[in-house]
């Protein structure tokens, strides 16, 4: 049973560019949440997707957007990249929106230069 | 949401029992206490959750006193592979599953 997978593993982008990160949830899960983790800090909630809709959003600007597909996989898009967007982006999946037990992927390390 | 306070770091030796305490003075009546573990270069992993008294699973025990203003995660006989960051979360938002992480406690297990 595959767990949560994310791609790519690492990514280097230039300021002002756009990036798309991808996530496949654990088998049987229907909810995907995205988190940003800066170096030395705990993960910060970006948003959550369920039934192909954004259900909850954290304190992140509109430059951060997402999508969930019918097969429950998800994408995170970040436009107009800033140096401060450099971080580890984590995807977590669960069954149902209210689950406290979420399964995290290994993350995508984004570096903005 | 209740604010949590944990030690920034802890050191231990292999074979010892490690107790990490989390303070959450403003915990609400319906808040649960949840702990996650994060190894280097990996995403966090759910360890344990409790509401009151004691909860035990194959990984850890969670002790919660009657006033629920603090909680203690207990790891029995740690090994080098238990070196990780441990996060205490309180007040996981119901109906949203939004997890609020603090800075966590970095546990370093030495040989």
**Contact B98/A96, CB-based, under 8 Å?**
no
* pLDDT of amino acid B96: 63
B46 touches chain A (CB under 8 A): yes
Token pair 């140096």 is found at: A83
C-alpha radius of gyration, chain B, whole number:
13
* pLDDT of amino acid B89: 92
* pLDDT of amino acid B34: 92
The percentage of chain B sitting over the pLDDT mark of 70, rounded to a whole number, equals 94
Q: What DSSP character marks residue A52?
A: T
Nearest to A98 among B44, B45, B95 (CB): B95
Q: pLDDT tens, A46-102?
A: 999 999 999 999 999 999 999 999 999 999 999 999 999 999 999 999 998 778 889
Q: Would the pLDDT of B93 be above 70?
A: no
**Residue B92 binned pLDDT confidence (cut-offs 50, 70, 90):** low
CA gap B97, A97 in Å, rounded: 5
CA gap A33, A49 in Å, rounded: 6
Q: Are strands A108-112 and A10-13 parallel, antiparallel or unpaired?
A: parallel
Q: Which two tokens mark A77?
A: 């898009």
Give every CB contact of residue B53 below 8 A, 6+ residues apart in sequence: B63, B64
pLDDT (mean) for A8-36: 97
| Exposure b/e, A37-60, CB count within 10 A at least 16 = b | beeeebbbbbbbbbeeeebbebee
Cis before B93? omega within 30: no
Q: What DSSP character marks residue B15?
A: T
CA gap A74, A66 in Å, rounded: 7
| CA nearest to B67, candidates B24, B9, B13 | B24
Q: Which residues from A are below 8 Å from B103, CB to CB?
A: 40-42
* pLDDT of amino acid A51: 94
Q: pLDDT tens, B3-44?
A: 899 999 999 999 999 999 999 998 888 888 999 999 988 999
* pLDDT of amino acid B77: 93
Q: Would the pLDDT of B2 be above 70?
A: no
CA gap A19, A78 in Å, rounded: 5
* pLDDT of amino acid A65: 98
**Residue A20 binned pLDDT confidence (cut-offs 50, 70, 90):** very high
């Amino acid at each position: 049973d595959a767990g949560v997978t994310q791609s790519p593993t690492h990514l280097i982008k230039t300021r002002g560019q756009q990036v798309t990160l991808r996530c496949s949830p654990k088998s049987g899960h229907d909810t995907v949440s995205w988190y940003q983790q800066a170096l030395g800090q705990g993960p910060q909630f970006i948003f959550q997707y369920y039934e192909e809709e954004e259900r909850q959003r954290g304190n992140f600007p509109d430059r951060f957007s997402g999508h969930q597909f019918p097969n429950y996989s998800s994408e995170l898009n970040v436009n107009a990249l800033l140096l401060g967007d450099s971080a580890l982006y984590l995807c977590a999946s669960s069954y149902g929106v209210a689950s406290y037990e979420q399964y995290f992927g290994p993350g995508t390390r984004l570096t903005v230069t | 949401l209740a604010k949590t306070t944990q030690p920034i770091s802890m050191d231990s030796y292999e074979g010892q029992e490690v107790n990490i305490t989390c303070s959450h003075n403003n915990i609400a009546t319906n808040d649960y206490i949840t702990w996650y573990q994060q190894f280097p270069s990996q995403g966090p992993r759910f360890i344990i959750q409790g509401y009151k008294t004691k909860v035990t699973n194959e990984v850890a025990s969670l002790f919660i006193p009657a006033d629920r203003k603090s909680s203690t995660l207990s790891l029995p006989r740690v090994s080098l592979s238990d070196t990780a960051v441990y996060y205490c979360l309180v007040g996981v938002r119901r109906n949203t599953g939004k997890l609020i992480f603090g800075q966590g406690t970095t546990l370093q297990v030495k040989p």
